[in-house]
Amino acid sequence: MNAQFKNFLSFFLRLIFSGGVLFYIFTKIDMEKTVEVLKTADLSLMAAAFVIFFMINMILLWRWMVYIRGLELNASFLTAMRYFFIGLFGNLFLPTAVGGDLIKVWGLCRDSAQKPRVVASVLIDRLSGFAGIMIVGTLAYLFGYQLIKDGSLMFSVAVLAVLSIGVGIVLFNHTVYSFFCKVFNPFPKIREAVMAMHYDLALLKGKGKQIVLLRGVALSCLAQVVSAGMSYLIARALHQEIPLIYFLIFIPLMCVASTVPSIGGLGAREAGAAYLFSKVGVGAGIAVSISLITFLFMMVIGLMGGLIYVATLSAGRVQHYPSGPGLGNANV
């Protein structure tokens, strides 16, 4: 089975999953009522929500730049921005949001000899994103528990917290990390590259570097709060009076649901929205509409990334650098 066929099969299966879940959801909601609500939407509020969505992505780009600078990577802001937006385009077609991360790694690795640090910057960026989800979701749930009183949500938040803390321990604790790296013993070059990435991550534990991690997590929390505010604004545009606290609790969990292999999280995110908002009396049609409008915003920004890729395609050059001490010769 060649790589091209595997890619096609992966896309086809994710398309079937997204389409199947959406079809099932649409059979369970009042489409006529939902369409009427959408027809009367406040377009000015919807436009404001789109601007906020763009701002969220700029916050995420800023967060990545914090780690790029913290790891002392030789990458300009424009280069990082280019691959960040191309990554958003890739998120629409590659397996989950991780696909966009692979594009960012590939892009910076083309122009840098610091390959393990490139991987480390993207990995810690993703991990801090989950930390932001955990922090905002947990705090919002604690403040809003009396409004929802659903233990299953707390279980979901707790599982997310344990996973985030566990991954953090594995990445930053040398003993634990070395233990897990034993799986690569039969592949010395891969093990060397993985260990080199750990040493680069350890740079963020050095004196004066902890602030880099704190800034990254703070930006993650800000992005989650602003994202909840954006969804709240979409709800207002649809003439729905839903308290902001619910969005602060549900949006982080919906972000996790969107990591299920699908087309840009489509289907999984909508199923999560319908399930979560049903717990506070919001109709499935409204919940799914809010989620689909967010996906529409995602598509617009993603297509912008596609245009950036096409516009800068001729400028793409593979550069080769000699490997420096401690950087290894890993193929990423």
Predicted confidence (pLDDT) at residue 63 exceeds the cutoff of 90: yes
Instruction: Determine contact, residues 42/237, Cβ cutoff 8 Å.
Output: yes
Give domain status of residue 87, yes or no: yes
Give domain status of residue 11, yes or no: no
Show Cβ contacts of residue 89 under 8 Å, excluding neighbours closer than 6 positions: 100, 302, 303, 304, 305, 306, 308, 309
Predicted confidence (pLDDT) at residue 315 exceeds the cutoff of 70: no
Give domain status of residue 328, yes or no: no
- Summarize pLDDT for 208-253 with one digit per residue, the tens: 667 888 899 999 999 999 999 999 999 999 999 999 999 998 998 8
Reported confidence tier of residue 290, pLDDT bands at 50, 70, 90: very high
Give domain status of residue 136, yes or no: yes
Predicted confidence (pLDDT) at residue 30 exceeds the cutoff of 50: yes
Q: Which domain holds residue 155?
A: 29-315
Query: Which pLDDT value is given to residue 331?
Result: 36
Give domain status of residue 3, yes or no: no
Q: Supply angle C-alpha 89, 95, 96, rounded to 5.
A: 75
Rounded Cα–Cα distance for residues 193 and 123 (Å) = 14
Give domain status of residue 53, yes or no: yes
Query: Which pLDDT value is given to residue 278?
Result: 86
- Summarize pLDDT for 165-202 with one digit per residue, the tens: 776 776 666 676 667 666 666 766 666 666 666 555 66
Give domain status of residue 320, yes or no: no
Lowest mean pLDDT among 50-64, 90-104, 240-254: 90-104
Burial category of 222 from C-beta neighbours within 10 Å (exposed 0-12, middle 13-18, buried 19 and up) = middle
- Summarize pLDDT for 121-178 with one digit per residue, the tens: 998 898 888 888 888 888 888 887 777 666 666 677 677 777 777 767 766 666 766 6
Q: How many domains does the chain have?
A: 1
Lowest mean pLDDT among 33-42, 150-159, 246-255, 289-298: 150-159
- Summarize pLDDT for 104-116 with one digit per residue, the tens: 999 998 877 788 8
